[in-house]
Chains A and B, each alone.
Chain A
Amino acid sequence: MTSSAGQRELTVGMGAGGLATADMVLNIGPQHPATHGVLRLRIVVDGERIVSAEPIVGYMHRGAEKLFEVRDYRQIVVLANRHDWLSAFSNELGVVLGVERMLGMEVPERAVWARTLLAELNRVLNHLMFLGSYPLELGAITPVFYAFREREELQAVMEEASGGRMHYMFNRVGGLKEDLPAGWLERVRYAVRAVRGRLPELESLIVGNEILEARTRGVGVLTAELIGAYGVSGPIARASGVDLDLRRDEPYLAYGELFGPSGPGRVVTRTAGDCLSRLEVLLEQVHVSLDLADACLERLHSLPQGPVNVRLPKVLKVPEGDLYTATENPLGLNGYYLVSRGEKTPWRLKLRSASFNNVAVLAEVLPGNLIADMVAILGSMFFVVGDIDK
């Protein structure tokens, strides 16, 4: 077995080359631990090798887009943060940003920076989840404990501010639900420092680990053409050298300044496009996000006294029109296409979620790989099934 070459050969038995083999259809999922969630893969295998693969989605379809249409803009936030439960804050953000833009609403500066801070903490939380679960899928049990310890540290501060550990429900049209608690910024600073300080422990289990590298290097290579064709985005696209990050390219919130010439923001890219580089991008993004969080904390300390939300009318109606709002979610581009007919509910709210496209590309990547590598490739796509099925 060579790890560098794209083709990996496994010859079993004597004279296997001459054996007539029949293709077998194998259903992975929908209830399979390796698919974390209810994703179903129908693969056709020739011996150990995958001939074709087809992701079958929809087992967790909840009709979120239709549900949005009968809920006002505060109630939508409740639903919007649930499709990708690992990046709830970023999901809420997309909805409220879209509504605010359509209303032409100015958000107070403190709210902008607090939102940026919380979004970056959420990104760290999301990435830590995959940094823990991906090695788990490859057979390494320990990293997940380290990852979850750091997650707990950050979840504690998120809960203190928002009251929730996963579904924060902290965004409102025009700002945040309520102001930050006293002393919270200090505790966030401490938590960020603690996470950054202990991250090397997690890294030492993942980076440069020979076993992990043997499983991931050169496996499941995604080319930039495939990424363009399937609309793959986020850390997966960046691992293949697609230098796209909405935080820098189409700045929202305070990212324009953070990704500016003197800001701490930088876009992490790799060129190999294999499972290992996807993991590396994720790991390095954690560092970048922690730096961004520090910069936000710095700014929140120096900002003058002010509100974090604006007073809303009793009945919030969005003027007629339509707008597409995209944000750089931890898993990729997350977009809401909001069509309003001037009522207090959207006429249509189309949700473009990152995981859907990121999983669709599996049909192209999996063929030619071994079944054992399928788990590695599947895990490295960093998807959330709720985000696929919506």
Chain B
Amino acid sequence: MSEPRTPRSGGALPGLLKGLATTARTLARPTHTTEYPDAPPHLPPRSRGVIALLEENCTSCMLCARECPDWCIYIDSHKETLPATTPGGRERQRNVLDRFAIDFSLCMYCGICIEVCPFDALHWSPEFEYSELDIRDLLHEKDRLGQWMPTVPPPPALDEHSAEPAEVAAANKPARPARAAGAPPPARAARAERPERPERPARAERPARAERPEGTARPEPPADSVPAEPPTPPSTASESGSAETKSPEPTSGEDQ
């Protein structure tokens, strides 16, 4: 310690002063921080704060509960049989959501449940002030999850270089005019079916066929929304066939 003392003690002072000079330079600048509880933070719309549930959209298909990496979503539901609305019609079954709960003490905030939800029943909200004194209170039941719904912001606009949304791309597809020009009046079903698959072309015969692969491919409640089609006349059947991916509205509408 004795021999190197001189360079070291002489060296510490300029170091201190230089540091203080930097501090002094930034002293007059406005603060970068805000007084949090008084000044709420500005959070972007994608911010993953809390998960909100839009109960009407939920068909209790259980996809979210199954895909959750730590299985923190609890869903109870039962099937209800609805009497036929028209004489001679068919009885229909629908799922009724009894319980939907997310345990935020387990949740890892990954957003997979929101991503997999086929009916947009789950949404991110940037709200974050829901800490509790008791860990058990972090289990939010469906009414609590529903209360977050008004805080869900609209999604941000996308970058100008982003690919156009699938819906827009499908609408702009030149396939349909080509088909109309190719063979307008006769044999519409037979010809259109082969070249363009995703276009729901064959209106007269499609609904009956389309619903079966849909129903078997995914075990979700669209299955019970699709049976709504047969009783309706073919003209509306084509319409509901196009809207079969977002079926909860037609379901609830016809059930009541």
Q: Which residues of A contact B (CB under 8 A)?
A: 1-3, 10-11, 71, 74-75, 77-79, 82, 110, 140, 142, 149, 152, 156, 159-164, 167, 169, 177-185, 201, 204-205, 208-214, 300-301, 303-308, 314
Contacts and interface: CB of A to CB of B under 8 A. Distances in A.
Contacts of A308: 162-163
5 contacts: A2-B3, A78-B108, A164-B109, A204-B19, A300-B161
B161 A167 contact: no
A149 B158 CA distance: 28
A180 B155 CA distance: 11
A142 B26 CA distance: 12
Nearest to B10: A210
Nearest to B116: A74
A182 B11 contact: no
Contact of A163 (B3, B8, B46, B108): B46
A349 to B, nearest CB: 14
B73 to A, nearest CB: 13
Given A164-B48, A209-B18, A211-B15, A79 B159 contact: no
A306 B161 contact: yes
Interface in B14-29: 14-16, 18-19, 21-23, 25-26
B181 interface: no
B56 to A, nearest CB: 24
Given A78-B108, A179-B163, A163 B157 contact: no
Interface residues of B, number: 44
A300 B22 CA distance: 36
Contact of A180 (B4, B109, B158): B158
Given A10-B1, A201-B26, A303-B161, A182 B156 contact: yes
Given A163-B47, A167-B108, A179 B124 contact: no
B162 to A, nearest CB: 4
Given A1-B1, A179-B159, A205-B22, A163 B14 contact: no
Contacts of A71: 69
B171 interface: no
B163 A214 contact: no
B156 A78 contact: no
A211 B8 CA distance: 8
Nearest to B217: A314
A159 B46 contact: yes
Contacts of A182: 156-160
A52 to B, nearest CB: 25
9 residue pairs, one from A and one from B, having the closest CB atoms: A210-B11, A210-B15, A179-B162, A163-B46, A307-B163, A75-B69, A182-B157, A181-B156, A160-B44
Contacts of A169: 48, 109-111
B51 to A, nearest CB: 12
A210 B12 contact: yes
A177 B110 CA distance: 11
Contacts of B21: 204
Nearest to A172: B115
A318 to B, nearest CB: 18
Given A159-B44, A305-B164, 13 more contacts: A1-B4, A71-B69, A140-B19, A159-B43, A167-B110, A169-B111, A181-B44, A183-B159, A204-B18, A204-B22, A209-B19, A306-B163, A307-B162
B210 interface: no
A167 B109 contact: yes
B91 interface: no
Nearest to A203: B22
B217 to A, nearest CB: 8
B67 interface: yes
